[in-house]
Structure 1
Amino acid sequence: VYSSVDKSFVHASTFSENSLAMRAALATLDVVENEDLESQSLKKGEYLRAKLRDRLLKYEIVQEVRGLGLMNGIVFQPPKSLALKMLYGSFRKAHPGLFGQMVVRTLFNEHHVLCQMAGNEYSVIKSMPPLIISEAQLDRYVDAFESVVKTIINEKTKFWPQGLDIAAKAFAAKVGG
């Protein structure tokens, strides 16, 4: 409701005072409440983190799995083995976020899993699946993540060269742009 006709035509924001958006928000809140998505999120998140811990913490490059509800982070650490330590260290020197970007890129390109680095904490890959995700889909995510970690460790010629590709594209964009 506007105080005058003049104000009714001001377009200050895409969703401000938009009755359709407000109705959609209310319908979403109804679904969240009626389907108990909050407690479902907590249960599914605990399930996911337990699976990730069981499958990933045995690898030298994975330090920790943490999260709350369906917001999760997998923390990477410098590996102990010499060959991996050199590769990891070289890419971290080029840019601290390059390794994380390589993990994100591999998850997306090979497994169609969308995730991202956690802000400025480049060693953490975060994921926030939808509240309606199934256990089968969570299992697929765990399989995909373990596959990428195995590739990092066992298939060096498959995983690590993409870092050079990313760096070359970034350099070309910087020089050309």
Structure 2
Amino acid sequence: MHATNERLKMSLYAALMAGITAILAQLTIPLPLVPITGQTLAIGLCATILGKRYGTMAVALYIAMGAVGLPVFSEAKGGFSVLVGPTGGYIIGFIISAYIMGLILEKTRFTLTPAVIANIIGMVITLVVGAVQLKFAAGLTWDQALSGGVYPFIIVGVIKAVLASVLGITIRRRLLAAKLLSQHDVKAA
């Protein structure tokens, strides 16, 4: 019974993080091709707080909400068309990023330095997957896709990666101290 309760608790945390991601996605700085949003910050928080399994679950739930039409993506967009459009690769890349970030943290430690490294790697994964889809969906050259969909986001991405790491590790430590989260919860498969 205890394991079932722990899985339920972690699933609820994942759902909560999906909601937080939807809220942070609405913090947007519009740019011509791809806007700067709070989504990537939220993805980093999901993985840094919840680890690979539940962090990825949170991201998948967020994407599923958007795919069925809920206005949870940036600029209150939703629908499957967003996922197959020019910016959809970034959103799809969130799943891979969350899993890899959580995996890195679970294989190392949930401390600041591994979190920063994991979040920067996650940022790179998101940008690469996003640029590939941007190139094909928008009919751009590789140079145009990289110039419009990667290069402008590197500095902001690093800042958000560090912020997600600091906030995520702090929140995780407080949840552990309050006994609302345990080391076993995150690594349970």
TM-score range, shorter chain: under 0.3
Looking at both structures, which has the greater relative contact order when contacts are Cα pairs under 8 Å and sequence separation is at least 6? 2
Bigger strand share = 1
Structure with greater helix share of residues: 2
TM-score, normalised by the number of residues in structure 2: 0.26
TM-score by length of 1: 0.27
